[in-house]
Structure 1
Amino acid sequence: MRLSLTDKVETALPLPFMSLFTTIAPITVTCNKRLAPYLELEVREMGFDIEETFITGLRLRGTLNDCIRLNLNLRCASQVLFSLDRFEARHPDDIYENLVDLVWEDLLPEPGYFSVTSNVQHETINNSMYANLRVKDAIVDRLRNKRGIRPETGAELRGAVIHLFWKQDYAEVFLDTSGDSLARHGYRKIPGRAPMLEALAASTILASRWDRVSPFINPMCGSGTLAIEAALIATNSRPGLFRLNYAFMHLVGYDENVYLEERGRLEEQIVEVPGLKIMATDYSDQAISNARKNARAAGVEDLIEFGLCDFADTAVPDTEQGVMIINPEYGERLGDIRELETTYARIGDFMKQKCRGYYGYVFTGNMELAKKIGLKASRRIEFYNSTIDCRLLEYELYAGRKADKPGNPEEDIPAGDADSTL
């Protein structure tokens, strides 16, 4: 049984499909868990009205041309999904029967190439690949019947991408307009050891109190992701500058001129920040070399001052305000716990002695180690680093004696707690 979408769009699947790029329909923008508040901030700043925010994304309404703009601008997102249809499905055959009726010949170019992804939570499915297969079969059978040739399909996300969401008896099919995840911003050529995902790095910066003009200090910089994202945020340089292929480019009705205009706006909206000081240090010569190369690829090497030193020897500018953010090892993947206890205690000493007047931030997945810092956190902001439950600890490092007061971090600040539907 097909569900009515008349309260959301004019039709479930607007006709003709040539107008789909200018037809309003539901859009779901997904992100990694706990990044939704920062994704919401970005989307609102772009002028969109948000209908719903949940733990792994948000919903709004717009066109495929809006999806182009979202793909090029968002730092915290993973995928931008344009809804085609939703229906009731109790069995994999229901997926096939509903999708074989959609006019895929007006969506996918000839001969075309497409991939299928899915998020499936249904009792009849113990391997999501089977659900993907039923989607693929429906599309292939439809196109072969209409065109007389079989389209090419594969797992590589280099062409059009169809996404199935199926939970209990509710199914929805989307055009994934992104393809490869937006969470990887495309400039990082050398990831280094245990790198932070670019979308996570951007989110932690957006969660901080950095004003985008005062000093940004990043000891233990590793491959440089935090410092690079800070430079990109400060100059309003968007991820779309580093990527040339999106799934929306492989749909019938795609107008390259719309994309080129949007990409041109990315260049126009870059700003200069006179006197901007971003510092990244690491004790590893290889890490600094990698970070420089990544910064060069992102076009911000000249905005970052790199230093080869122990984190405690970082030369923090003496200013009235600024941000210091550090992402030490936390014993899950790297480092010896006993050595790390000493490191965390030294981080506390470094903040007290050299970062007065700043906001200090420690990103960690080990709260036992965090106790060794010996300072009281004013906020504990929840994140995940892959599957590791992490916190961004904020410390107000007063210029006077208040910074020396020991204590335990305050209660966690959750990054949204709504149930995820995608």
Structure 2
Amino acid sequence: MIDFSKEGKVVITCFDRYAPYLEMELKELGFSPADVHRTHVELKASLEDCIFLNMHLRTASHVLFEIQSFTLKHIQDLYKKVKNISWEDYLEKDGYFSVISNVAHESVDNPLFANLKIKDAIADRFREKFGVRPDSGSALNGTVFQFFWKESEASIYINTSGETLIKHGYRKIPGNAPMMEALVSATLLASGWDRKSPFVNPMCGSGTVAIEAALLATNRYPGLYRDEYAFMHIKGYDPGHYRKLKKELDRKINDHVDFDIIASDISNRAITASKTNASTAGVEHLIRFEVCDFRDTTVPEAETGAMFLNPEYGERLGEEDELELVYREIGDFMKKRCSGYTGLVFTGNLDLGKKVGLKPKRRIPFYNGTIDCRLLVFELYKGSRRGEPGSAPV
């Protein structure tokens, strides 16, 4: 049985371009990342820490705890290397496990072959030691092991998450082409929103952006909405420790929000879906929902605030011409009605983004699935640098 309090190498994976915001989260939670890469962050932490991180991280995909790293030159050597690991320290002999492999090596043309070698090695070790073997399969509802192999460097980890963390568990009605919850969290962290001033989200769709803003502002973490993780199936797991952390999540909630969070959409159906999702997340009472054209959305008077829009990208033939007008109107709306706010336009069409007609302070790169996107950040001055009231630099 392994010691859950002993520190080791932890790798937290994320989608490409999320890593700076994952690092930001980790620092806010009191951790010190050792290395930050394009799709993962490394640090020293314990399995107890991994439990905490699974319950708190908004932008992560999986939390991995290293079992062993070794030199591996050919797939034929994998079975022996794996069989020598003390799997009985991590897995009950009557348990269930699955294996995920990420392989980039000339001796393997299918990572499933590596999965099979690892499963056979684990099963044979148990059979020789105990006369029985744990079950295995592809479902991630037991102990999950993750294998990485590139060139001659190989590592095996416990995947403490199981199913991905990018879904935060409250979105029962996804809507059309929604942004994933982890992506929304990353954009909010990138935006610089202070979590203390008004947040307005026209074209809200299924409400994910406004909901994630409310979750951030009130210290609600994703672990509130999930009760199944792969760490629960590691030998030596203490359910009492998990229940203690779950109670701490409830105590961290701060509903004393003295600013407006507003979500609007022209579609009644979208607002109904948004309210349902917000209710599941426990933040419906914190968001004002409006059925209206985006130009008629309430914009509270404030010295500062965030105005976040995620318009369509025009992926189908003929749509782009129609959307040019929408993007121009977004620019006019922000310039005329959002003085003092930070304007945020998330788009997967960089040409349409230029039609907003304002000069962005920053163009922050993201991927939405495979779509190359930008979060355009506009400073909407109260009176421009040229002294023209209510305008913004172009």
TM-score by length of 1: 0.90
**Is residue 237 of structure 2 the alignment partner of residue 244 of structure 1?**
no
Residue number among 7, 13, 21 corresponding to 1:38 in the alignment: 21
The whole-number CA distance in structure 2 between the counterparts of 1:324 and 1:141 is 58
**Is residue 181 of structure 2 the alignment partner of residue 198 of structure 1?**
yes
Per-residue deviation, residues 118-162 of structure 1 (Å, max 9, x unmatched): 221111222221111111111112122222223211111111100
Q: What are the equivalent positions in structure 2 for 1:236-315 lying under 5 Å apart? A: 236-315=219-298
Letter in 2 for 1:278: I
The whole-number CA distance in structure 2 between the counterparts of 1:349 and 1:199 is 30
Residue number among 61, 64, 69 corresponding to 2:52 in the alignment: 69
Using a 3 Å threshold, how does the CA distance of structure 1 residues 270 and 333 change in structure 2: closer, same or farther?
farther
**Is residue 78 of structure 2 the alignment partner of residue 98 of structure 1?**
no
Q: CA contact under 8 A between 2:198 and 2:300: conserved in structure 1?
A: yes
Q: CA contact under 8 A between 1:288 and 1:307: conserved in structure 2?
A: yes
The whole-number CA distance in structure 1 between the counterparts of 2:137 and 2:284 is 38
Q: CA contact under 8 A between 2:92 and 2:134: conserved in structure 1?
A: no
**Is residue 357 of structure 2 the alignment partner of residue 374 of structure 1?**
yes
The whole-number CA distance in structure 1 between the counterparts of 2:68 and 2:101 is 15
Structure 1: any 5+ residue segments left out of the alignment?
A: 1-16, 408-422
The whole-number CA distance in structure 2 between the counterparts of 1:64 and 1:349 is 51
The whole-number CA distance in structure 2 between the counterparts of 1:90 and 1:63 is 30
The whole-number CA distance in structure 1 between the counterparts of 2:127 and 2:13 is 32
Using a 3 Å threshold, how does the CA distance of structure 1 residues 124 and 331 change in structure 2: closer, same or farther?
farther
Q: CA contact under 8 A between 1:163 and 1:174: conserved in structure 2?
A: yes
| Secondary structure in 1 matching 2:378 | strand
Residue number among 188, 201, 214 corresponding to 2:197 in the alignment: 214
Using a 3 Å threshold, how does the CA distance of structure 1 residues 64 and 295 change in structure 2: closer, same or farther?
same
Per-residue deviation, residues 172-216 of structure 1 (Å, max 9, x unmatched): 000000001111111111111111110110111111121111110
Letter in 2 for 1:147: F
| Secondary structure in 1 matching 2:34 | strand
Q: CA contact under 8 A between 2:63 and 2:159: conserved in structure 1?
A: yes
**Is residue 209 of structure 2 the alignment partner of residue 226 of structure 1?**
yes
Q: CA contact under 8 A between 1:31 and 1:76: conserved in structure 2?
A: yes
Residue number among 318, 323, 327 corresponding to 1:344 in the alignment: 327
Q: What are the equivalent positions in structure 2 for 1:2-81 lying under 5 Å apart? A: 17-19=1-3, 21-81=4-64
Letter in 1 for 2:355: K
| Secondary structure in 2 matching 1:373 | coil
| Secondary structure in 2 matching 1:50 | coil
CA RMSD of aligned residues (A): 1.4
Letter in 2 for 1:107: Y
Q: CA contact under 8 A between 2:13 and 2:40: conserved in structure 1?
A: yes
Figure out how many residues of one structure are paired with residues of the other and give that number.
390
Structure 2: any 5+ residue segments left out of the alignment?
A: none
More divergent stretch after superposition (372-381 vs 101-110): 101-110
The whole-number CA distance in structure 2 between the counterparts of 1:158 and 1:334 is 42
The whole-number CA distance in structure 2 between the counterparts of 1:186 and 1:121 is 32
TM-score by length of 2: 0.96
Tell me which residue corresponds to 1:415.
Answer: none
Using a 3 Å threshold, how does the CA distance of structure 1 residues 84 and 335 change in structure 2: closer, same or farther?
farther
The whole-number CA distance in structure 1 between the counterparts of 2:232 and 2:392 is 56
Tell me which residue corresponds to 1:323.
Answer: 306
Q: CA contact under 8 A between 2:89 and 2:235: conserved in structure 1?
A: yes
Shift of 1:404: 4.0
Per-residue deviation, residues 86-105 of structure 1 (Å, max 9, x unmatched): 11112222221111111112
Using a 3 Å threshold, how does the CA distance of structure 1 residues 216 and 333 change in structure 2: closer, same or farther?
farther
The whole-number CA distance in structure 2 between the counterparts of 1:108 and 1:128 is 23
The whole-number CA distance in structure 2 between the counterparts of 1:334 and 1:162 is 44
The whole-number CA distance in structure 2 between the counterparts of 1:123 and 1:67 is 33
Residue number among 149, 167, 183 corresponding to 1:166 in the alignment: 149
Q: CA contact under 8 A between 2:336 and 2:391: conserved in structure 1?
A: no
Letter in 2 for 1:224: G
* Greater relative CO, 1 or 2 (CA 8 Å, sep 6+): 1
Tell me which residue corresponds to 1:129.
Answer: 112
Shift of 1:335: 8.0
Tell me which residue corresponds to 2:336.
Answer: 353
Q: CA contact under 8 A between 1:276 and 1:303: conserved in structure 2?
A: no
Percent identity for Structure 1 against Structure 2 = 53
Q: CA contact under 8 A between 1:234 and 1:273: conserved in structure 2?
A: no
